Amino acid sequence: MQQRKKLIKRGAEADIYLGTWYGKITISKIRKAKSYRHKSLDDEIRRNRTVNEANIISSSKLTGVRSPFLYFVDPDYAEIIMEFVEGKIAKDVITLKLCEEIGKYTGLLHINDIIHGDLTTSNFIVSKKLVVLDFGLSYYSHRREDRAVDIRLIKEIFSSAHVSFYKDAYEGFLRGYSEIIGEYETHKILKNVLEIERRGRYAHVI
């Protein structure tokens, strides 16, 4: 039986609650209804996104990446009840070794065609093992362009949230990533990252 205790985070797409499930501490993620969408369409979108996220969380474990254990999924209520992972947010305890581990995790996801979609140091928890969170924007793809979007985001995070550590952090991430993906594929993906950055600069100028 689940008991919702308290709201701990309001997001644009979902609210996060701390609760319990048969005596275990849990995180409950509930996707919000959008009043600007027709109700039947909104229900279908939230249902599909809830099921997709739950499926990808389960698939991520098969890659060797640790993610929260799922206790219950309710597509009709657009809710996922999952393990509460105790630990520190990677953003707050970032180290070179941790950057390499994040790179390896990203490589394991990408080599199995999982694009995280929100790759930030706030979505990793340092517990007994590194744990990746929040697959709400995740999807399946083998395209280099999509892998490059993930890497471009973590690069931006390193340059903004970890500015004093940026160069070492990004290089450490890429070492871990290429260890899984391979140097050739990493090189090809990084060319896509540069192209994305060029398009961004060009659009900004226009």
Per-residue model confidence as pLDDT tens digits over 126-156: 998 999 999 999 999 999 999 999 999 999 9
pLDDT tier, 19 (very low <50, low <70, confident <90, very high otherwise): very high
Sheet holding 70-74, edge to edge: 2-10, 14-21, 24-31, 79-83, 70-74
Q: Active site residue: 15, 43, 74, 118, which one? A: 118
Question: Region 190-202: what's the mean pLDDT?
Answer: 84
Q: Where are the domains of the chain?
A: 2-83, 88-205
pLDDT digits (tens, 9 = 90+) for 93-124: 999 999 999 999 999 999 999 999 999 999 99
pLDDT tier, 193 (very low <50, low <70, confident <90, very high otherwise): very high
- Residue 162 has a pLDDT of 85
Q: What DSSP assignment string belongs to 26-77?
A: EEEEEEPP-TTS-HHHHHHHHHHHHHHHHHHHHHHHHTT---PPEEEEETTT
Flag whether pLDDT at 203 surpasses 60.
no
26-40, 55-69, 78-92, 98-112: least confident range = 26-40
Nearest CA to 82 out of 108, 56, 113, 45 is that of 56
**Position of tokens 């340059």?**
159
d(CA 183, CA 45): 38
Give the amino acid at 40.
S
- Residue 2 has a pLDDT of 59
Question: Treating both helix axes as pointing N-terminal to C-terminal, what angle do 166-181 and 144-161 enclose, rounded to 10 degrees?
Answer: 150
Q: Which CATH number fits domain 88-205: 1.10.510.10, 3.30.420.40, 3.30.1330.10, 2.120.10.80?
A: 1.10.510.10
Mean residue pLDDT across the chain: 92
Percent of the chain with pLDDT over 90: 78
Percent of the chain with pLDDT over 70: 95
d(CA 188, CA 202): 21
- Residue 205 has a pLDDT of 42
Spatial CB neighbours of 25, under 8 Å, sequence gap ≥ 6:
18, 19, 84
Calculated CA dihedral for residues 180, 155, 90, 61, nearest 10 degrees: -40
- Residue 206 has a pLDDT of 43
Nearest CA to 144 out of 100, 66, 196 is that of 196
d(CA 177, CA 174): 5
| 118 assigned to active site | yes
Q: Which CATH number fits domain 2-83: 3.30.200.20, 3.60.10.10, 3.50.50.60, 3.40.50.150?
A: 3.30.200.20
Fold match between domain 2-83 and domain 88-205? no
pLDDT tier, 82 (very low <50, low <70, confident <90, very high otherwise): very high
d(CA 203, CA 175): 31
d(CA 5, CA 26): 10
